[in-house]
Copies of this chain bind each other. A is one copy, B any other.
Amino acid sequence: MQSPYLLFIGDARDQLAAKTAQGVADWRPQQCLGQLKLPGCQADLGINELSPAAAAAAGARTMLVGVANAGGVLSPAWTETIRAAIESGLDVASGLHMKLADVPELAAAAADCGRQLYDVRHPTQEFSVGTGRPRPGKRLLTVGTDCSQGKMYAALATEREMQKRGLAADFRATGQSGIFIAGHGVSIDAVVSDFVSGAVEWLCPDAQPEHWDVVEGQGSLFHPSYAGVSLGLLHGAQPDALVMCHEPTRRHMRGLPDWPLPDIAECCAANLAAARLTNPLVRMLGLAVNTSALAEAETGPYLEALEADLGVACVDPLKHGVGRLVEALP
């Protein structure tokens, strides 16, 4: 996927529906030339409005479909605009369940115009079975007490902080939003289960001894729907360092109203124990806590108590940065 990008947010019914595009605009602003809306769009990224033709003229290479909806379908209302983007010379990338390539009009337009369609949720690559072979370079993985708590943001904040401190670091994306931000990656929950750890070994391969790959985690070892994905990712990443992500106001595991969250210390211990299989020296750097739903006055005391309890740094990446986590690197 080539940047710069035009961010298509279609007829997003609220800001949340455009969160994929928002992530790219937040973390790679220099690669985003503009946004494209349809009538009725209720989201805004705070960047220039550009037509496909104007974006192409300004140097855009790819239009990202940065709007989500229930079911992950490509709305028929978007087809004409996506075709116009292709005809303006842009590639198009989507992370939705339904493939761009499965819409005949879009497949035909791409073929006619010699443009690429990227369905990043559907890996086209063949992966090998994981080997567990120790490999050079260092890796950090974000893990979590649950899904959808900020593992991607924590990883991106860590990459940025490492680079600010002069460390060589690369974010490695394992989900659709992350892949848009990085420009590449593997949508790990769409990989055939036998090849999950092998796909992660491919994603963060041999590197220079002091180089850090900062790998985006998925799911939770304590989520009964997705723990297998999380474990394969943990083993394949072979992490030297973990960051545990947590959202303190959540009452149950995402999507499962009867399922309590794990004890945080137990969750840290279980992740470390599992990670030691492929990297016996793994360490827990600390917690990245998403405190956006806590009252301002509660945040400090909550993090202090957690830190006293767990004995590692506990920060909100968006409020405090992740400097204290990076300082704890091995």
Contacts and interface: CB of A to CB of B under 8 A. Distances in A.
Given A224-B277, A229-B228, A235-B224, A129 B197 contact: no
Contacts of A194: 72, 97, 189-190, 226, 229
Nearest to A224: B132
Interface string A261-280: 00000000010011001100
A132 B225 contact: yes
A128 B70 CA distance: 9
A70 B129 contact: yes
Interface residues of A, number: 42
Contacts of A256: 131-132
Contact of A227 (B97, B188, B235): B235
Contact of A130 (B198, B224, B270): B224
Nearest to A200: B228
A274 B224 CA distance: 10
Interface string A16-54: 000000000000000000000000000000000000000
Nearest to A233: B228
Contacts of A302: none
Given A222-B277, A270-B273, A273-B270, A193 B129 contact: no
A34 to B, nearest CB: 31
Contacts of A301: none
A229 B227 contact: no
A214 interface: no
A133 B255 CA distance: 12
Contacts of A110: none
Interface in A43-84: 70-72
A232 interface: yes
Nearest to A189: B194
Interface in A267-324: 270, 273-274, 277-278
A228 B190 contact: no
Contacts of A132: 224-225, 256, 259
